[in-house]
Structure 1
Amino acid sequence: MSSLRDAETFPAHTPAASQIFTTVLCHGPITRLEVARRAGLSPAAVTKAVRPLIEAGYLVEEAEEQTRPALGRPANPVRVDGSRALFVGVKVTGDEIIAVLTNLCCRIRAARHAPLPGREAEDVLARVADLVAELRTEAEKSGTPVLGLGVAVSGDVDRAAGVVRWSPFLEWRDIPLAGLLQKATGLPVTVDNDVRALTVAEQWFGAGVGLSDFAVVTVGAGIGCGLVVHGRVVAGAHGVAGEIGHVTVDPAGPPCHCGNRGCVEAIAGDAAILRRIRDTTGAEVAGVPEAVALAHAGDPVARDTYARAGEAIGRGIATVANLLGPERVIISGEGLAAYDLFAEQIRDAFAAAAFGSAARCDVKTRPLPFEEWARGAAATAIQSFIRADDQPPSR
């Protein structure tokens, strides 16, 4: 196992070089002139930054084109060599750990799933370390080094400090997860909120590519929101931003675990939906699949509960649109399994609450399995590896 001291570092570790590399990663193959246009840099700066990245094998040049632009700069496009390095991404849910091995272009090469052994930090750390070891063994077959580990956890996560401040589903407080996993694996570790990690992946490779302002809203066990404003994922001054799950939409509504009442999550989260159905009907509804089946069978309480959830989510999305005016809101998360039960209410509540031109925001659904969330964690590890200021550029 290599030590952190011996770990490979990204060449030309400057904000400009990182911005250029990320532009090629998201949009390549791409010519240097197009990189300059998208990154807002001079062609000379791009040419200077690209050279060491090609020499180090991180970028490769495609076959030369017939024409060259003025000033004699090469018009042949460059792209990221995905085989140059590997990364591991881990998503920790309330009952499962999902780990993926990706290449430098964040394409999944292998995946592992394991049940959560328990919610004590020590148990989770040990299982994550085991999964990372399995994937590094897989990586050894290609002879390509694993250069970083990204971990995505729900809740209040301070990425800069590598600390999980509070994760309600895991019942963790102030766990220095990055440092503990660095000791256990010998890899540089990035720990981030799971929705922010998914947002990075959507910004680089998904429905947010090319957008300067968009949001990712996730529905399921919790209601989360990742924000991209002027091309940057917003973390907030204290590592908390986009918490629409704890926006109050009904002051007289049910209590939320955050201490307030009528939060979006207290109405639309999985636990809230199950609680209302059980309390109102007295039925022993074991879990979400049973609740969805009950609603599909026409049970009025179940259908009304999902309708209320959709209204709360729609009002939450309208709050994001009114405050930030994003070009697009992407709805994802395991809760989309019931989307047909509340899609109309989301649309109607959003249209009613969105102010003026904010209603022009493109609201689209994008079901993503948890492996994609783990891929998002790997994207944060790649981001940390290539970014001097640990923030993603975008154009």
Structure 2
Amino acid sequence: MLDASRGRAMITSPASAAVFTMVLTQGPVSRVEIARRTGLSSAAVTKAARPFIDAGYLFEMAATERTAPGAGRPASPLAIQPGREFFTGVKITHEELIGVVTDLRADVVATARRPLAGCEPAYVVAELAALADELRGVSPAVRERCHALGLAVSGDVDKDTGLVRYSPFLRWHEVPLGRLAGAATGLTVTVENDVKALTVAEHWFGEGVGASSFALVTVGLGIGCAVVVEDRLVAGARGVAGEIGHVPVGGDGPPCHCGGHGCVEAIAGTPAVVEAARTALGDDALTLDGAMAAARAGDPAAAAVFSRAGEAIGRAMAAMANLIGPERIIVSGDMPGLAAYELFEDDVRKAFTLQAFGAAADCRLVLRPQPFEQWARGAAAVAIQTLFTLRER
């Protein structure tokens, strides 16, 4: 089926969702292979693929392989036409907006940044609209074919409604970001928690491709986590599943901005590490760089701060692995927070191995640093996934 107003292919059935998603994330792939992996008949695969070919989203490559030795004609793999549609993605921090334009395969074709002088929602949305317009203006093709905007925000986000319930670093409460951004830009807007957005990008286009179950843990201002189970991002009833940053591992202290005590984020988040290092070294002006330099120089007090942070992260990751049983855990995050990871990586792995139960300890840990542009790419990936995922109609 096509959306006549824009000539866009639409997902109208589980078969069309399965076929298009497989080609998008794992293609080029032949119809025979799609049928084998999905359990659909060859006729059903052809029927599902046809609207996407007609609309220019898919194309048939030259025949390269036979369905079986000596049998039938060579197969013509289906592949994505990446430039058929473009997507804007923006990561919103308390200091700046980081934006990208991607093609249909989430490959970045343009980037831009815009500093923020404040965090008042109306001001941020106005700056967001200006940045989106700048990004869409990189070429006539992008201007014509970019209809969707993905936004990534830290905190408690309701993706279904575009509501930011709580964002600690932006100090937002109950902000209807999706509605405000849609009105300001005229684009179709999706809003997602930033860690979940990054996980969507890894799931469809990155380290998570081919893994039916994995987790992504981010280390930075906060400690974030999102999990994919049986090829689905786990959101939970209210969209906050996976928040290991607020798993209590430190007893009665220190206090956390969420109102609890002993949370992983209150021990291992960048602000918490800096504050603990200042106290340990008796220097109220100490920065993260200074704390890292002291630890690398062998200062035992500084080293203990990073060791405690690593232990807290490792324990929380083990708790998550015991509950979910992921195939792998991708450790990522923003700079400069992740720059400290080498100082506590051994403590992370040691605590994880000690606390993980049985075979859960065999879960592979993968270090994957990500600049903020990749978080913005994650926002674009959510927009791609939302457009090409079957929804109730």
TM interval, shorter chain, is over 0.9
CA shift at 1:368, angstroms? 1.0
Rounded to whole Å, the distance in 1 between the matches of 2:6 and 2:173 is 30
Q: Show the counterpart of 1:383.
A: 385
Q: Check whether the contact 2:66–2:72 (CA below 8 A) recurs between aligned residues.
A: no
Specify the alignment match of 1:352 in structure 2: 354
Q: 1:23 maps to which residue?
A: 22
Q: With the length of structure 1 as denominator, give the TM-score of the two structures.
A: 0.93
Superimposed CA distance per residue, residues 151-179 of structure 1 (whole angstroms, 9 cap, x where no aligned partner): 00000000001100100010001111111
Q: Which residue of 1 aligns with 2:307?
A: 307
Aligned counterpart, 1:207: 207
1:326-374 per-residue CA deviation (whole Å, 9 max, x = no partner) reads 0000000022211110010001000000000110111111011111110
Q: 1:59 to 1:74 in 2, by over 3 A?
A: farther
Question: Are the aligned partners of 2:137 and 2:143 in contact in 1 as well (CA < 8 Å)?
Answer: no
Does 1:122 pair with 2:122? yes
* 1:85/1:145 contact within 8 Å kept: yes
Distance 1:118 1:74, change over 3 A: farther
Match for residue 248 of structure 1? 248
Structure 2 distance, partners of 1:66, 1:288, is 55
AA paired with 1:84?
R
| Matched residue, 2:174 | 174
Q: Secondary structure at the match of 1:378?
A: helix
| Amino acid corresponding to residue 115 of structure 2 in structure 1 | P
Q: Kindly indicate whether the alpha-carbon contact (under 8 Å) linking 1:12 and 1:53 is maintained by their aligned counterparts in 2.
A: no
User: Helix, strand or coil: the match of 1:67?
Assistant: strand
Percent of paired sites with the same residue:
53
Inter-partner Cα distance in structure 2 for 1:141 and 1:10? 18
Residues 278 and 66 of structure 1: CA distance in aligned 2, closer, same or farther (over 3 Å): closer
1:281-296 superposed matches below 5 A: 281-296=281-296
Contact 2:136–2:142 under 8 Å retained in 1: no
Residue of structure 2 in register with 1:53 after alignment: 52
1:355-374 equivalence runs, <5 A? 355-374=357-376
Q: What runs of 5+ residues in structure 1 fail to find an aligned partner?
A: 391-395
Give the Cα separation in 1 of the matches to 2:326 and 2:202. 14
Q: Distance in 2 between matches of 1:5 and 1:49?
A: 18
Answer yes or no: is the 8 Å Cα contact 1:96–1:114 preserved in 2: yes
Given that residues 248 and 263 in structure 1 are in contact (C-alpha distance below 8 angstroms), is that contact kept between their aligned partners in structure 2? yes
Letter in 1 for 2:364: D
Amino acid at match of 2:345: A
Secondary structure of 1:364's aligned partner? strand
Q: How big is the shift at 1:8?
A: 5.8
Q: Which runs of 5+ in 2 are unaligned?
A: none
Which aligned pairs between 1:1-395 and structure 2 lie closer than 5 A? Answer: 9-65=8-64, 67-68=66-67, 75-140=75-140, 144-334=144-334, 335-389=337-391
Query: How far does the alpha carbon of each residue in 1:237-271 deviate from its partner, in whole angstroms, 9 at most, with x for none?
Result: 11111000000112133111111111111110011
Aligned residue identity for 2:331: I
Q: Kindly tell me: are residues 384 and 264 of structure 1, through their superposed partners in 2, closer, same or farther at Cα, counting changes over 3 Å?
A: same
Task: Supply the distance in 1 between the matched residues of 2:43 and 2:287 (Cα, whole angstroms).
Answer: 59
Tell me how far apart the structure 2 counterparts of residues 368 and 39 of structure 1 sit (CA, whole Å). Answer: 32
State the secondary structure of the residue aligned to 1:138: coil
Q: Distance in 1 between matches of 2:6 and 2:54?
A: 19
Structure number with higher relative contact order (C-alpha < 8 Å, ≥ 6 residues apart)? 1
Q: CA deviation at 1:147?
A: 2.2
Contact kept, 8 Å, 1:60 with 1:79, in 2: the verdict is yes
Deviation at 1:72, TM superposition (A): 5.9
How far apart in 2 are the matches of 1:120 and 1:282?
A: 35
Specify the code of the residue in structure 2 equivalent to 1:345. Answer: D
Give the residue type in structure 2 aligned to 1:21: F
- Normalized against structure 2, the TM-score is what? 0.94
1:317 & 1:274 partners in 2: Cα distance?
22
The CA deviation string for residues 197-248 of structure 1, in whole angstroms up to 9 with x for no partner, is: 0000000111111000000000110000011010000111111110000001
CA contact (8 A) 2:214 2:329 kept: yes
Q: CA deviation at 1:68?
A: 4.5
Q: Which moved more, 1:56-65 or 1:10-19?
A: 10-19
- The question of whether the paired residues in 2 share the 8 Å contact of 1:26 and 1:209 is answered with yes
Q: How many residues align?
A: 387
Deviation of 1:6 (Å):
5.4
Mapped contact 1:264–1:313 kept (Cα < 8 A): yes
Deviation at 1:288, TM superposition (A): 2.2
SS in structure 1 of the partner of residue 139 of structure 2: helix
1:305 CA drift (Å): 0.5
Contact 2:8–2:55 (Cα < 8 Å) also in 1: no
Partner amino acid, structure 2, of 1:47: T
- Alignment check: 8 A CA contact 2:86 2:142 kept: no
**Counterpart Cα distance in 1 of 2:36 and 2:51:** 20
Distance 1:92 1:214 in 2: 25
Pair 1:40–1:360, CA change in 2 (3 A): farther
State how far apart, in whole Å, the 2-side matches of 1:253 and 1:41 are.
54
